Structure 1
Amino acid sequence: MRWFTDGDRNTKFFHSYVKGRKRKLQLNEIIDGQVVLYKESKDIGEVIAKVFEQQFKEKTFNYDYTMIDCIHKLITAEQQENMNKTSMEEDVREMVFSLNSDNICELDSYSGNFFQSHWKIIKEAILKIVATFFCGLDLPRFVTNMNLVLIPKTEQVRRSQI
């Protein structure tokens, strides 16, 4: 890497290196799921948008719970009732206040201190989500949806997976 060691004395090399890398990573054409080739940047953008739309679209499933009867019951109805009586609010509050106040789970996430400081405000929403989870219901999309976008950086990528 001459430009790294020579610094500003080699700006022509640096700029040609950057332009070459930019040209290499540029997407000039794409083939969609119906094997149609698109070369216009507007069309390429629409194909990519459709791919991500399909990837992150909420899917509905038909659940078949008929096999549940085959599972042996491990607790009695009385034990189940006692478990339901347990104060979830106390358990969740204890968990929230045991969080390290400085740690966060991702870069743009909230720290434990946020949840502890604003417990009175967010308590009901947190308890509702926890109750939803333990009742076996589907969690809201904003809880289960990850905003992770993976774009493969491989040579000669031309096909989309629609």
Structure 2
Amino acid sequence: MVELDLLAENRELDAMEEAEIRSLPVNLISFSKFQASMQWQKSRVNWLREGDANTKYFHGIMSSRRRHNSIVSLSADGNTIDSVADVRKVVFDHFSNHFRKVSRGSVDIGGLNFKTISELDREGLIKPFLLDEIKAAVWDCDSYKSPGPDGINIGFFKDFWEILKIDLLNFFSEFHRQGILSKGLNSTFITLIPKVESPQRVADFRPIALVSSIYKILSKVLANRLRQVVGSIVSQSQSAFIKGRQILDGILIANEIVDEAKRENKELIMFKVDFEKAYDSVDWDYLNDVMTNMNFPTKWRGWIMECITSASASVLVNGSPTDEFRFERGLRQGDPLSPFLFLLAAEGFHLIMDSMVSMRLFTPYSIGSHNPVNISHLQFADDTLLIGTKSWSNIRALKAGLI
């Protein structure tokens, strides 16, 4: 390009030279893209070759991740805490208090019209565990996810399946008979993932539970059984975690409502509710009542309550666990059962909204001119979109329903 520019200063360029100078920027862009692609592929090759080996590259990745996730100081009660012992105490106090049971009085759900599971589904939930379904659960888990307090990842069970399978089957058979988890089997590490670039408070971290490998396999088997029946007892307003449904379905319905309201100049209310720390705040007695109203077998409810009430946790602060505390409420993010149990808990709110509509306390939005459909809410796991006509009575009804 420089040579052509110099030529252009001394004489007029011919047609071939002008075409060449026009093509140079395009070629430069193509070359830059090629270089970027090669660097990206090289980075992937490095990771595949060295990312999980005892190499300088691997330790560099680990050191970078450790620096990113390390907690040097925290802000608490207006003060900056920077000593190791005090940081650990702040983290421990926060989570041990956060998962403590909150007394708000019992919620009466006896009048709500819950769907119930069939007798065939009841039998399927509590039938004896089979080796094939245990193996399917093991192979369905990621082999190299971070292990819990036992230090064993699921890949270990896959590698030594032929040796361990009978012991695993015996464990499941014992759990089927007794419904009890031995002490320590349901211990948990809570790892803290930063939600913001420079976290200052404990609330700036997302707690993820690392459960023990044996418990994870048990939870996965139970979750797979629950997955088969949950679609028949959870309303169509819920679009997450259910076979045959997608969160995108709810999003498309919401977009259709907004488009129609704009097109036909209809006034409406759309109120998005993101239940703060929704999994963490699930009341166990309420969840058990919901399962009772849905006609879950007593044996199954006993298994589920054992899985959630026997749990204990230590928080990992810079890789070192704090003292242990017992959970008194909530569902652990990282437990395979938790998404499905949360759907059962959230079904109560769906029925409350339906009840308010049937009692004419809340007026839903009506979409469509021929055979209109009334929609009062859409649920996306722990997010809920409330939809109705624009009125103060609807605002008051929503406030009463949410409180």
Higher relative CO (Cα under 8 Å, sequence separation at least 6) belongs to 1
Question: Which structure carries more strand by proportion?
Answer: 2
Select the structure of larger CA radius of gyration.
Answer: 2
